[in-house]
Amino acid sequence: NKYIVIKAHIDGKPEESDFEVKTEPFSLSVKPRSNDIIIKNLYVSIDPYQINRMKTMSASQKASEFAVGISPGQVIDAYGLGKVVASGNPKFEKDDYVVGLISWGEYSISQGFILSKLDPMGFPLSYHVGVLGLSGLTAYVGLFEICKPKKGEKVFVSAASGSVGNLVGQYAKHFGCYVVGCAGSPNKVKLLKEELGFDEVFNYKEENDLNSTLRRYFPDGIDIYFDNVGGEMLEAAISNMNSHGRVALCGIISEYTNAEKRAIPDLLTVIYKRITIQGFLSGDYMHIFPEFVTTTIDHLRAGKMHVLEDVSIGLESVPSAFVGLFRGDNVGKRIVQVSQD
Ligand code: NDP
């Protein structure tokens, strides 16, 4: 069994050389222990939050449930999709597809914790890691549960070509909002405007003063900001919010690799404009999953939803796929296909 590890804790921007592939003896002919499920990993998700687990962490951070640290040399658990090859667990059978917590490796051993059986419902398996998986749920929950849009409202989304961001924009457009996104390259801007139907998109790397950029795109103010990046973009968005605006704090990727770059939003604006800023974790909203899947499948079957996937092949590509997230290499959901079904 091959798996990916970090060589040492990573503080700052990750590099491919921070990772290595390890191999351990692994026999598929050994019967699994009671409750154990042996999974052949097919698709693993490449997610920005993992960098926060790879940092040198203080004891208090380590103890917190949302940032369980990853130690050098340790198997890295990750979201993904696989097929059961052997099961000692009554809830799972050989050949079941499963989605949930597996690992950045060829095989995973699970006790069924954060793992469910999957019916692919006729869709490609990879969709269940992205558009029909946690990325989709995150976009859906952040927009509809946290921001509670009204038709015609003006929505701004950052990292708009990313896995979560592109879906936020598409849901908001279908719902009847005016949607502006920002992304980090001319190709991404073109794709979002011409293929995905965003009303406006700008390349934030070409802008000097984000505050005036947002004023230009939202002369009447922002009603909803779906934040994937934090930092200066969050500060500028808060300054441009309308009264009773809502901010869904989904992620702050610009701050993950730069501890000094913390957003300092204008809190007096937050008070006077009665702005709601809410952080959320999509995992807390599994009760919404059936509603989210039904809505998204309807959109997909009606041909109303574009699926942006960015799939690399082979476990060895995990480090470059991961590191590339922080350079903006990906367009849509970044996934590594570890094995063929
Ligand atoms: P993405 O697919 O959006 O990939 C990351 C993207 O972020 C890159 O492509 C890049 O696009 C952009 N980016 C990278 N570095 C910076 C930077 N310094 N400043 C601005 N943008 C940057 O990832 P996901 O869709 O998976 O995740 C998006 C956000 O949502 C992340 O912050 C993630 O941690 C968070 N998240 C939160 C969840 C929750 O439950 N709260 C669940 C899932 C994700 P570009 O070219 O535009 O720069």
* Lowest-confidence region among 2-16, 63-77, 295-309: 63-77
Domains and CATH numbers, the chain: 2-130+308-337 (3.90.180.10), 134-283 (3.40.50.720)
255 lines ligand 1 (CB under 6 A): no
Q: What is the pLDDT of residue 295?
A: 98
User: Best of 134, 140, 146, 164 to mutate for ligand 1, by most ligand atoms within 8 A of CB?
Assistant: 164
Helix, coil or strand: residue 65: helix
49 lines ligand 1 (CB under 6 A): yes
Q: What is the pLDDT of residue 96?
A: 98
Count of CB atoms situated within 10 Å of the CB of 340:
7
pTM for the predicted model, two decimal places = 0.96
Q: What is the pLDDT of residue 66?
A: 61
Helix, coil or strand: residue 244: strand
Rounded to an integer, the average pLDDT of 108-125 is 96
Q: What percent of the chain has pLDDT over 70?
A: 97
- pLDDT range class, residue 259, cuts 50, 70, 90: confident
170 lines ligand 1 (CB under 6 A): no
Helix, coil or strand: residue 93: coil
Residue nearest to ligand 1 atom 8, measured at CA: 328
pLDDT at 60 over 70: no
Task: Please tell me the distance between residue 96's alpha carbon and the centre of ligand 1 in angstroms.
Answer: 31
78 lines ligand 1 (CB under 6 A): no
Q: What is the pLDDT of residue 261?
A: 80
Rounded to an integer, the average pLDDT of 56-82 is 80
Rounded to an integer, the average pLDDT of 327-335 is 98
Nearest to 70 by CA among 145, 142, 138, 18: 18
Task: Please tell me the distance between residue 297's alpha carbon and the centre of ligand 1 in angstroms.
Answer: 24
